[in-house]
Amino acid sequence: MLDSTMFRVTSSPHIRSGETTQRIMLDVIIALLPALFAGIYYFGIRSLIVTIVSVVFAVATEFVMQKIMKRPVTINDLSAVVTGILLAFNVPSTAPLCMVAIGAIFAIAVAKHCFGGLGHNFINPALAARAMLLASWPVRMTSSAFLTPGTDAVSSATPLAALQAGMLNGMSGATAATATAPTVPSIMDLFLGNVAGCIGETSALALLIGGIYLVYRGVITITIPVTYIGTVAILSFILGGFNPYIAVYHMFAGGLFLGAIFMATDYSTSPMTTKGQIIMGLGAGILTALIRFYGAYPEGVSYSILLMNVATPLIDRYTMPKKFGEVKRSA
């Protein structure tokens, strides 16, 4: 007698995978831990407090919004936790906790659930909240303090703010490294994270470690990060007077590594094809360089990624391969 299961027909797709949203988000959280530890080391325990507040309000808002909209409660998928951490990484450790809470509520309630929830949002929720906070509290969002290990907190301008002020214009790498050392941190300090700035964006080394882990786990590909960072480096070299020191400085300073690795690669807001991802990396890199060199803000990562998020549907439309058997419509 034949087994009846042999004739059971189900709808496509038939590909199955052991990967779940929870597993992917857990990998992202693990990848963010080095940057979190670096933030605590350089900015003090308040970095951890800001992160906890952001995560708690993000998860709570997720729960409330899903209840209000009568959707299944999925806070255990950890997506709200990731949004909370990324938002905390995009604010300075000196940010008022109430401001952080407002940002977390905005990220989940407005940028995520007002557009359908996980997988339906067209812009990155954490970056949308950062843009809102920057527009609402520009002074709070651009002021920062960092701890030289073993000392008290020291208020300082961010490296990109110093660059925009023209402190390195016309200087060679050696001159800039010596003459402006008290004000402008060295490239090594930039790479390690011993500079003023937002909690999770300062240590390029910690973010790079997390990025390598995500690539190893297959969560992201290197297409967008490499294209994005490379474009910023090349344009900074050209726009900075063909000064390699300026190019390296722009590559390590600000939130470039954080944005390129953890936010520009967001599944629901980035192109699906390799060609589309290259276009997104190029577009975000060009916009970032233009904002940094010619815009009012010293940092351009957030707005660049948000603009490319909006362009993603159009990029997908023109880069998606044709369906099998598809023919052009006759005139």
Distance of CA 200 to the CA centre of its chain: 10
pTM for the model stands at 0.85
Determine the pLDDT at residue 168: 44
Counting every residue written for the chain, the total comes to: 331
23-27 long-range contacts, CB within 8 A, separation 24+: 24/219, 25/77, 25/78, 25/79, 25/81, 25/82, 26/78, 27/213, 27/214, 27/217, 27/219
Determine the pLDDT at residue 298: 72
Cα distances from 245 to residues 36, 124, 239, in angstroms, run 27, 31, 12
Between residues 208 and 326, which one has the greater pLDDT?
208
Instruction: List, in sequence order, every residue forming a beta bridge with 258; answer none if it has no partner.
Output: none
Q: What is the dihedral of CA 289, 294, 296, 301, to 10 degrees?
A: -10
Residue 11 has pLDDT above 70, yes or no: no
User: Over the stretch 219-261, which tens digit does the pLDDT of each residue have?
Assistant: 999 999 999 999 999 999 999 889 898 899 899 988 899 999 9
Q: Domain boundaries in the chain?
A: 21-141, 156-318
Determine the pLDDT at residue 7: 53
| Among 25, 34, 46, 26, residue whose Cα is nearest residue 91 | 46
Per-residue DSSP letters for 59-112? Answer: HHHHHHHHHHTT----GGG-HHHHHHHHHHHTS-TTS-HHHHHHHHHIIIIIII
Q: Identify whether the C-beta of residue 71 lies closer than 8 Å to the C-beta of residue 119.
A: no
C-alpha angle 15-70-77 in degrees, rounded to nearest 5? 45
Cβ neighbours of residue 125 closer than 8 Å, sequence gap 6 or more: 83, 87, 107, 108, 111, 112
User: Over the stretch 261-293, which tens digit does the pLDDT of each residue have?
Assistant: 999 999 889 999 999 999 999 999 999 999 989
Determine the pLDDT at residue 119: 80
User: Over the stretch 97-144, which tens digit does the pLDDT of each residue have?
Assistant: 999 999 999 999 999 999 888 888 889 999 999 999 999 998 888 776
Determine the pLDDT at residue 295: 82
Cβ neighbours of residue 14 closer than 8 Å, sequence gap 6 or more: none
Q: What is the dihedral of CA 24, 29, 35, 40, to 10 degrees?
A: 180
What rounded mean pLDDT belongs to the chain? 84
Between residues 7 and 44, which one has the greater pLDDT?
44
